Structure 1
Amino acid sequence: MSDAAQPTAAEVRAAAEAVKTALDRHLAAVERRSGEDDPAVSEAFNQLAAAAEAYDEVLYDRYDEVTPFEIPGAEDTLPPYAGPEEPNALSVLIRRDYTVAEPQRLLAQAQRVEAADEYQDIGGNGEGAVATVPGALGILFGEFEPDEIASRHKEFGLEEGDSTLWVTAADEAPEPGEWLDAPFEQADQQPVVCRFDVSAVFDDEDESDEEDDLEFVEDVEDEDLEPLDTEK
């Protein structure tokens, strides 16, 4: 970063003061909270996280230093639940990402299930749906349930990516066909009861923790340990 773009010492000081103010507000909100999901506490938490992040950035840009603590950002947590107290309906929103790792395996599997005449020529060019990857995907996802695709993805030449499942609450179930034209347009987090995320990022974090533990064990083993003197 050029000297002209660097924050001034006064800006760093101001960011530090903003953290102190946000810290006082967060403590005050906690002391006055009305329950476990008090929105005032959540708002104060998010403000403190934003102030701490801003201070950390200018501190690094100006002095090449960082803070010794880390506050998770608002994107790492769900907002306070704002759905009905006694929901009469639920919606389950699922997203699963895949990479087409082996197109030939995908096409071969589609060929095995392409038995009915209605599959012919879906892919165009008179070669049948299995002549193209989109056509093969259409056959496989039309033949198998999504959960079966997830459990057998390697057989279909697919590689798993991130996935998430949201359970959202509602007062009433929507009318049949009401949202089919835009099913993913309103994925609101406010009525989410719970969510379950799967990502390789979590695996990387676990592996990092295991490596840290291994390094600690190796350090202990490398030390010169003297036997205890049991004689009195």
Structure 2
Amino acid sequence: MSDAAQPTAAEVRAAAEAVKTALDRHLAAVERRTGEDDPAVYEAFNELAAAAEVYDELLYDRYDEVTPFEIPGAEDSLPPYEGPEEPNALSVLIRRDYAVAEPQRLLAQAQRVEAADEENGGAGISGTVHGALGILFGEFEADEIASRHKEFGLEEGDSTLWVLAADEPADAGEWLEAPFDQADPQRVVCRFDVSAVFDELEDGDEDLEDDIEDGIEDVIEDDDLEPLDADR
């Protein structure tokens, strides 16, 4: 970027003031929250995210400096809930990722199951990884595999659980051909995510706090400003 195209110091200062104003509005919206999915809080969050992004960009363009926090944009969060206020049914969608860390352990566990099954004994389908996975996931509930994954030679990756509200229970067999096509984000009542990324961010917080000014430290550590993640 040329010097002529750089933002002025006044523009950077104005952007910083806009962030402060957005922070105050967000806190006020949180204090007046009328429910878990209050649209005023969602709107204030997005305004704060937009103001922080503008300030971050101007600060970098003018001073080649960055902020120590990042607010996820609207594309990284769920839209406002627009499902029924009193759901008559719900769907629970779960995704868990695993890496096959120890194939031999996986095969050995599948062979034990196969050997104990008189009908499948000697079929030999446990001799391949995909065959072993089919045996184990057919024998054990998904939650049991999650709790015993190391025994099966698996390594946990990211996981997420979405609870979606519905007007009425689905008819039997209605969605089996495409079970995840109707996962409408606007009907998500709540979601729970597990990722190693979160652990890495927490581990980096102490190092970050040693290097930043006290005023910024207070912003990062304020419980009311939980969306501000120190990942830079």
Deviations 1:123-172 (A, max 9, x none): xxxxx322211111011101111011011101100001111111221110
Q: How does 1:196-215 map to 2 (within 5 A)?
A: 196-209=192-205
Give the whole-Å Cα distance in 2 for the aligned partners of 1:205 and 1:50.
Answer: 22
Give the whole-Å Cα distance in 2 for the aligned partners of 1:208 and 1:68.
Answer: 11
- Counterpart among 140, 143, 147 of residue 147 in structure 1: 143
Q: Aligned in 2, Cα 1:182/1:11: closer, same or farther, shift over 3 Å? A: farther
TM-score, normalised relative to structure 2: 0.70
- Counterpart among 149, 152, 156 of residue 152 in structure 2: 156
Query: Does residue 106 of structure 2 align to residue 114 of structure 1?
Result: no
Q: Aligned in 2, Cα 1:143/1:194: closer, same or farther, shift over 3 Å? A: same
- Are the equivalent residues in 2 in contact too, given 1:78–1:189 (CA < 8 A)? yes
- Are the equivalent residues in 1 in contact too, given 2:15–2:54 (CA < 8 A)? no
| Bigger relative contact order, structure 1 or 2 (CA pairs below 8 A, ≥6 apart) | 2
Q: How does 1:78-227 map to 2 (within 5 A)?
A: 78-115=78-115, 116=117, 117-118=119-120, 128-209=124-205
- Are the equivalent residues in 2 in contact too, given 1:129–1:136 (CA < 8 A)? yes
Deviations 1:178-231 (A, max 9, x none): 111111123222222222222222333444456789x8xxxxxxxxxxxxxxxx
Q: How does 1:26-37 map to 2 (within 5 A)?
A: 27=25, 30=29, 35-36=34-35, 37=37
Quick check: which one's helix share is greater?
2
- Are the equivalent residues in 1 in contact too, given 2:106–2:132 (CA < 8 A)? yes
- Are the equivalent residues in 1 in contact too, given 2:114–2:120 (CA < 8 A)? no
Partner of 2:221: none
Of 161-170 and 184-193, deviating more is: 184-193
Partner of 1:226: none
Q: Which amino acid aligns with 1:82?
A: E
Give the whole-Å Cα distance in 2 for the aligned partners of 1:146 and 1:53.
Answer: 41
Q: Aligned in 2, Cα 1:10/1:180: closer, same or farther, shift over 3 Å? A: same
Partner of 2:5: 8
Give the whole-Å Cα distance in 2 for the aligned partners of 1:46 and 1:15.
Answer: 20
Q: Which amino acid aligns with 1:193?
A: V
- Are the equivalent residues in 1 in contact too, given 2:7–2:61 (CA < 8 A)? no
TM-score, normalised relative to structure 1: 0.70
Identity of aligned residues (%): 68
Q: Which runs of 5+ in 1 are unaligned?
A: 122-127, 216-232
Give the whole-Å Cα distance in 2 for the aligned partners of 1:212 and 1:49.
Answer: 21
Partner of 2:42: 42
Q: Aligned in 2, Cα 1:30/1:154: closer, same or farther, shift over 3 Å? A: closer
Give the whole-Å Cα distance in 2 for the aligned partners of 1:188 and 1:15.
Answer: 39
Give the whole-Å Cα distance in 1 for the aligned partners of 2:102 and 2:9.
Answer: 51
Partner of 1:53: 53
Of 13-22 and 94-103, deviating more is: 13-22
Deviations 1:86-126 (A, max 9, x none): 111111111111110001111111111113444766xxxxx
- Are the equivalent residues in 2 in contact too, given 1:19–1:55 (CA < 8 A)? yes
Q: Aligned in 2, Cα 1:11/1:178: closer, same or farther, shift over 3 Å? A: farther
Larger radius of gyration: 1
Deviation for aligned residue 1:58: 4.3
Q: Which runs of 5+ in 2 are unaligned?
A: 211-232
Q: How many residues align?
A: 204
RMSD: 3.7
- Are the equivalent residues in 1 in contact too, given 2:107–2:129 (CA < 8 A)? yes
Q: Which amino acid aligns with 1:43?
A: E
